[in-house]
């Protein structure tokens, strides 16, 4: 058992919420890509509610839009961990960072495909 896992119950939930907010704050202030994706979501999510689509289609449009934020948070976390280990160039570090980038590209393609399929019928 990890010594960092000492809290239980409501205290643990409150701590976790604080850590999550810290992570969102760090991503927003330190990652330009995250800020760009937030801006994209600020446009796409209201647009999903404005468009004449079914509730299920709207939910899908919002979900895939938010997926890009989740993927960027994970990508940024991988990059931070790799950089923490070493700033030295290493093929495995490059692979890890490139795979995170590929995951983000894939999530953006999913957004485009889902939105196109719904809007173009």
Instruction: Per residue of the chain (121 residues), give pLDDT as tens.
Output: 666 666 778 888 998 999 999 999 999 999 999 999 999 999 999 999 999 999 999 999 999 999 999 999 999 999 999 999 998 999 999 999 999 999 999 999 999 999 999 999 8
Residues 6+ apart with CB under 8 A from 31: 72, 76
Q: Is 72 annotated as a binding residue?
A: yes
Residue length of the chain: 121
Where do the domains of the chain lie? 31-118
DSSP letter assigned to residue 4: T
Q: Is 35 annotated as a binding residue?
A: no
Cα gap 34→51, rounded to integer Å: 25
List, in sequence order, every beta strand (DSSP E) within 13-112.
Answer: none
Is the domain defined by 31-118 classed in CATH 1.10.287.3610? yes
Cα gap 36→32, rounded to integer Å: 6
Cα gap 57→114, rounded to integer Å: 9
pLDDT of residue 8: 77
pLDDT of residue 91: 92
Q: Is 51 annotated as a binding residue?
A: yes
**Which two structure tokens, joined as six digits, stand for 59?**
């939910």
CA angle 74, 42, 101 (to 5 degrees): 25
Q: Which of 44, 72, 73, 75 is catalytic?
A: 72
Q: Is 57 a catalytic residue?
A: no
Q: Is 84 annotated as a binding residue?
A: no
Alpha-carbon distances, residue 94 vs 79, 97, 104, 121 (angstroms) = 10, 5, 15, 40
């Amino acid at each position: 058992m990890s010594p960092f896992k000492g809290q239980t119950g409501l205290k643990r939930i409150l701590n976790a919420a604080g850590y999550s907010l810290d992570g969102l704050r760090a991503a927003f202030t330190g990652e330009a890509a995250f800020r760009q994706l937030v801006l994209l979501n600020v446009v796409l999510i209201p647009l999903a509610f404005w468009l004449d689509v079914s509730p299920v289609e709207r939910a899908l449009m919002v979900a895939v839009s938010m997926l890009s934020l989740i993927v960027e948070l994970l990508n940024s976390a991988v990059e931070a961990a790799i950089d923490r280990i070493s700033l030295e160039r290493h093929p495995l570090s490059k692979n890890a960072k490139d795979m995170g980038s590929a995951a983000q590209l894939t999530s953006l393609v999913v957004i485009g495909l889902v939105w196109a399929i719904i809007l173009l019928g």
